A and B are shown apart, each in its own frame.
Chain A
Amino acid sequence: MHIMEGFLPLLWAIMWYVVSIPFVLYGIMEIKKLFREHPEQKMILAVSGAFIFVLSSLKLPSVTGSSSQPTGTGVSSVLFGPAITSVMATIVLIFQAILLAHGGITTLGANVFSMGIAGPLIGWLAFKGMRSFKAGMIPSVFVAAVLADWVTYLVTSIQLALAYPGADIISSFTAFATVFAVTQVPLAIGEGIIMAIFFDFLLSNRPKMIREILKEKIGKASSETPGVAQ
């Protein structure tokens, strides 16, 4: 989903910065608040961010014969929401744009929006939605992680279609989505599996803290994790 440096017309580049910056700033405030009020959650935040670092550094082969990168934003979206996730995605994207010439400074706003905001937002909403329908914790995390990854690439396709509408915007979107959407399906599923396994680990080792972060009442959703409620 890294839109390459210089490949967004100036107006769109500015537009996506304008949309993303308030979100990231809000996320920084949220992180400060979290550090002040719940310093014990720092480590969970760090490890959620670390997943974004690791997974977004992997160029994985896909069935379409091309390679693409997962986003790693699943756990962070589920636990801390899209605002905080956008801050960590921004750090990764700056690292990649400056050191790797992967993505770009001019396209940073757009890339932060797709990977750090849109994907995590949909993943987070899906998680909340599934939980309110009493879906199990691990299936909900799986779906959230798959969507956070996949939606990122759909949004990139929309961003490119808006900037390059060609003859008509729908066929332009289809052209970009052909590159991204199918390639990303197996990657998104793989990411969902990794996130689900990791989340299960967190839940068995820090059940209380995870529930606290999720603001779910302890015991309310304990049916699928018998014996781990402390």
Chain B
Amino acid sequence: MSGEAKKSKLGLYLLGIIALIILFTVPFIISPGAEFGGADDGAGEVIVEMSPGYEPWFNSFWEPPGETESMLFALQAAIGAIIIGYVIGYLRGSSAQ
């Protein structure tokens, strides 16, 4: 790949990353007091609103406490990130020849 093509790509990547940062900081600027609760729970509330008295007919075997839940979410992300990092490194290394 020519140096120039690489440069223009870098610019495009930067643009993408800046767009990402804006996308995920804007919510805090336009609604600073919001709780940012999960949309899944939001849908649950709509169900309860529409059919008052609805009782879930099946419950999870166990529900991890908040802190443990965060840990497990982090674990899920970590498993994925390890694989992504490994493969990116492998592909880069082996394509250099």
Contact = CB atoms under 8 A, between A and B. Distances in A.
A53 B62 contact: no
Interface residues of A, number: 73
A61 B42 CA distance: 14
Contact of B38 (A54, A67, A101): A67
A214 interface: no
A71 interface: no
Secondary structure call for the B interface: helix
A184 B24 CA distance: 12
Given A95-B76, A193-B16, A63 B40 contact: no
A196 B35 CA distance: 31
Contacts of A59: 38, 73
Interface stretch (A14-22, A123-131, A201-209): A201-209
Interface string A204-230: 111000000000000000000011100
Contacts of B81: 50, 54
A7 B44 contact: yes
Given A100-B69, A101-B62, A205-B91, A186 B40 contact: no
